[in-house]
Amino acid sequence: MGSPPRSSPRLSWRRVLCVLFLPFVSSGFAPPAKYRNNFIFERRKLPPNPRRFDWSHLTPRELKNRSQGIQTEERAGRNPYFTLEGHEFLILGGSVHYFRVPRASWRDRLLKLRACGFNTVTTYVPWNLHEPERGTFDFSGNLDLEAFILLAAEVGLWVILRPGPYICSEVDLGGLPSWLLRDPDMRLRTTYKGFTEAVDLYFDHLMLRVVPLQYKHGGPIIAVQVENEYGSYNKDPAYMPYIKKALQDRGIAELLLTSDNQGGLKSGVLDGVLATINLQSQSELQLFTTILLGAQGSQPKMVMEYWTGWFDSWGGPHYILDSSEVLNTVSAIVKAGSSINLYMFHGGTNFGFIGGAMHFQDYKPDVTSYDYDAVLTEAGDYTAKYTKLREFFGSMAGAPLPVPPDLLPKTAYDPVTPAFYVSLWDALNFLELPVTSEHPVNMENLPINGGSGQSFGYTLYETTITASGVLTALVRDRGQVFLNTFFLGTLDYKKKTIVIPTVQGFTTLRILVENCGRVNYGDNIDQQRKGIIGNVYLNDSPLKKFKIYSLEMDRSFLQRFTADKWKPLTEEPMFPAFFLGALSVLDSPYDTFVKLEGWEKGVVFINNQNLGRYWNIGPQETLYLPGAWLDVGLNKVGACPLGPLLSPALPAPPRFPGGLGGRERTDVPPGDRLAISPRSSSLKRRWHNG
């Protein structure tokens, strides 16, 4: 599809779509996912399937008179199985996380799930996004859980809800709110009073919304999961019974499930709750079945998470799983009489700062894309996995499957050239006043946001020194060190010291710390405080009297960048800095991808939407930009320029000639522009393996 007409190079404050940047003196950059062709849905030879099921009458739209939801039945000579209103029923589920998909695309993704032959959608519920500050709840916009559940019912899908409170899911702190860590004695995922009191308040609010959407009340929720993979954590035997009771006391009355991998399955079983398993290999199926039989006796089998791919970490390889292997494993599970949920059917995107991390030997933050090598791509396009699975499920369906929706169109837009900038050091003058403290304070314990601290983003620590020597600090996760405005180097998990050169008189020491994502799985989630942890030492003496700036990159932060704050890019800027450019969209906006050639590390915002992090160490090389987040025409940015893009210094002396992204400039080095282009069958998906 061709590019839209080019726009005028003249900047109009009344008609501009903002794209802001903040380059940092480090490295980074990102992409969406793998290359997928536009697949034609054709018949092919499939493994023989002896049974066919017609569940066309067993959908939320068709079942009006209901007596009982998912039940367990057992007959002589047969293994136990599920029934729905007395009819034998296999749960064929696929995971789609509403908070990782633009709301405008929910229907598209759910229709594609239904057309593939699935009857159920599963979703996690991220506590940290729904209660960003203690006692303040957000179920609006892209977090409108009720709207997502009702839309699933409208499309004809049942829902399995996974409300946590801990969800893992490669989300920051496993979906737990970071303000819990303000308590120095906090013991997450236990019956520690400080944790259960917070869970109770959250569940009080959440369950008021979801209880009316259960099957017994005419809604599509047929099952609810109790916590998530607790058998692998297993630090408090009273905890899982507490969560089960917390759900039931608030009105959850549908089938209850647990979900565990091989290492935690024996410890994760809970009385009165169906145990399910998580796996990726067909060879694991018989072993897990044996373990389940010994743990809970004869019950219907369900694979709650069949992993269709895997997530990626910055600096690591891009993981893929062959489509034929996926088909063979799914068919083996279903033919063994087991229900199944595919994790993920559609992964989506870790928009903003929601991505988590792993930390066993090394700390490894997750990339922005949650493509997962899933059945649909990050942008919702079909894959070979989709084609093969649809044919398999169609072979066992007693009625024709719905026709798959058309692909959403993609397009390429003209490159964006930054035209204005604001140095971070200048921006400090019009941001929120800093916190003053005798000693450094970690992000979570900053006295901001109604006593909830800082959850995401960057924190700048400033103090004054008068001597040179060796600086020592424990930063989480990356800290860029400056003397006044001169960049010295970076501190991280492996590098805890840096040499301070000779200084003259009183000199400002600055440490800009990035929270790259809290660990979402493992035994060390209680130790996920970010920023500077403990004292900063110069020659073994603790430094004191800090100014601490919270740079959360949220709406209130960006609203301070009014039109009068920006400077034209007529000379080499001082880094770190925010940059402003413009993108012209003259026709209907389409999905596209942002490629930041020559930029190293940072975050991209467009029209008040945080697309996420980029980092040139890969494997991700572009950022997914939903067309729904673009406006037709040129949009005003003067009063509220809500769209910075953080980025480190460019590889060569930066040249940012004035002008807008819609204008082709032969004198602009390619590395100084944002390339905005589609990811369709005519373009390779830009990943690299490292």
Catalytic residue set: 229, 305
Query: Could you tell me the end-to-end alpha-carbon distance of the chain, in angstroms, rounded to an integer?
Result: 32
Which structure tokens are listed for 19?
Answer: 């794209």
The strand pairing partners of 510, in sequence order, are 462, 482
Token pair in block for residue 283: 């060879």
Which of helix, strand or coil describes residue 512? strand
- The CA-based diameter of the chain, rounded to the nearest angstrom, is 88
Q: Which amino acid is at 678?
A: P
Strands 567-568 and 601-606: unpaired
- DSSP SS3 for 444: helix
Strand partners, 674: 416, 596
| Residue from 437, 658, 553 nearest 24 by CA | 553
In this structure, what are the phi and psi dihedrals at residue 202, rounded to the nearest 5 degrees?
Answer: -65, -45
Give per-residue burial for 155-168: e unless 16+ CB within 10 Å, then b. bbbbbbbbbbbbbb
CA nearest 549: which of 451, 644, 459, 423?
459
Query: Of 177, 276, 267, 259, which is closest to residue 231 (Cα–Cα)?
Result: 267
Residue 234, sorted as left (phi over 0), alpha (psi -120 to 50) or beta, turns out to be left
CB distance 544 to 463 below 8 Å: yes
CA distances from 568 to 4, 196, 398 (A): 26, 52, 65
- φ, ψ for residue 221 (rounded to 5)? -75, 115
Q: Bridge partners of 221?
A: 159, 214
Task: Give the separation between CA 386 and CA 380, rounded to whole angstroms.
Answer: 11
- Owner of token pair 């959403």: 408
The helix/strand/coil state of 125 is coil
How far, in Å, CA of 335 to CA of 303, rounded? 13
Report the C-alpha gap between 516 and 358 in whole angstroms: 11
